[in-house]
Amino acid sequence: MVTTILQSILSVLSALVIGLFFMGLFRIIMARIHWRYGPPLVQPVIDIIKLFFQRSVSHGIMFDLGLILSLAGSMVIILFMPFGNGCWCPLSGSGGLLVILYIMLLMPFGIALSGGAGGNPNVSIGISRKLILSLGYEVPFLLIVLAVMTRYKSISLVEIVRYQQDLQWGLFSWPLCLPGIAYFLILPAMLGIRPFDVASAPQEISSGPMAEYGGKYLAFVHIEHAFGLSITIALFVNLFLGGADNILFLFIKMLVVFVLGLFVHAVFPRFRVEQAIKYLWKWPTALAFVGLVVTLLVK
Partner 1 sequence: MTPGILLSIAFAGALLTYLLGKLSSRARDYCAVIISLIVVGSTTVIYGKSLEQILPFKFLGLPLALRTNMLAWFFAITIAVVGALSIIFSLSYIKGRERTNLYYFLILLVNASMLGIVLSGDLLSFYIFWEIMSWSTFLLISYNRGSALSAGMKYIIMSLAGSAAYLIAALSIYAKCGTLIISSLSTMLKTASSGYTLFILILGFITFGIKNAVLPFHTWLPDAHSEAPSPFSAVLSGILIKMGTYGLLLFLYVLVGLKTFVDLKCGILSVQSFLCWLGAITIVIPTFIALLQDDAKRLLAWHSIGQVGYIILGIGFGTGLSVAGGIFHVMNHATFKALLFLSIGAVEYRTGGVRDLNSLGGLMKKMPITFIGALVGAFGIIGIPLTNGFVSKWLIYKALISNGAPFLAFAALIGTWGTLLSFYKFIHNIFLGQLPEKYKDIKKAPVSMKLPILIYAAIIVLFGILPGIPLKVINIIVNSFGLDSLQVSLWGIGSETGALNTINICAVILVATIVAWLVFRMAHRSVPLSQEDSYAAGAAIPKDKYHHTVDFYNPLYRMIGPYLKDVIDQFYYWIARRVEMLCDGIRHVYTGDVGNYVAYIVLFVALLITAQIWWQPW
Residue (24 or 179) nearer to partner 1, CB: 179
Identified binder of partner 1 from the candidate list 75, 191, 247, 257, rule CB under 8 A: 75
Total residues contacting partner 1 (rule CB under 8 A)? Answer: 81
Amino acid 194 reads: R
Q: DSSP alpha helices (H): ranges in 119-215?
A: 121-152, 157-166, 177-191, 202-205
Site for partner 1 in 92-111 (CB under 8 A): 93-96, 98-99, 101-103, 105-106, 109
Q: Does residue 216 interact with partner 1 by CB under 8 A?
A: yes
Note whether 225 binds partner 1 by CB under 8 A: no
Task: Give min distance, CB of 100 to partner 1, in A.
Answer: 10
Smallest distance from partner 1 to CB 176, Å: 13
Calculate ∠ Cα 223-225-227, nearest 5°: 75
Q: How far, in Å, CA of 260 to CA of 114, rounded?
A: 33
Site membership for partner 1, residue 274 (CB under 8 A): yes
Write out the binding residues for partner 1, residues 120-179 only, by CB under 8 A.
120-122, 124-125, 127-129, 131-132, 134-135, 138-139, 142-143, 146-147, 149-150, 153-156
User: Residue 13 interacts with partner 1 (CB under 8 A)?
Assistant: no
**Smallest distance from the beta carbon of 172 to partner 1, in angstroms?**
22
Q: Which stretch binds partner 1 (CB under 8 A): 68-76, 81-89, 186-194, 249-257?
A: 68-76
- Does 269 sit near partner 1 (CB under 8 A)? no
Query: How far does Cα 243 stand from its chain's mean position?
Result: 16
**Binding to partner 1 by residue 7, rule CB under 8 A?**
no
Rounded Cα gap, residues 8 and 87, in angstroms: 11
Site for partner 1 (CB under 8 A): which residue of 18, 23, 45, 76? 76
Binder among 55, 269, 297, 298 for partner 1 (CB under 8 A): 55
Restricting to residues 229-268, name those near partner 1 by CB under 8 A. none
- The CB-of-129 to partner 1 minimum distance in angstroms stands at 8
What does each C-alpha distance from 138 to 41, 123, 187, 207, 232 come to in angstroms? 32, 22, 11, 22, 13
User: Which residues have CB under 8 Å from 186's CB, separation 6+?
Assistant: 137, 140, 141, 144, 280, 284
From 18-26, 29-37, 73-81, 248-256, give the range in contact with partner 1 by CB under 8 A.
Answer: 73-81
Does position 219 bind partner 1 by CB under 8 A?
yes
Using a CB cutoff of 8 Å and minimum separation of 24, what contacts does 219-223 make? Answer: 219/47, 219/48, 219/51, 219/52, 220/67, 220/68, 220/71, 221/67, 221/111, 222/23, 222/44, 222/47, 222/48, 222/51, 223/16, 223/48, 223/71
For partner 1, the closer CB: 197 or 212: 212
The amino acid sitting at 73 is G
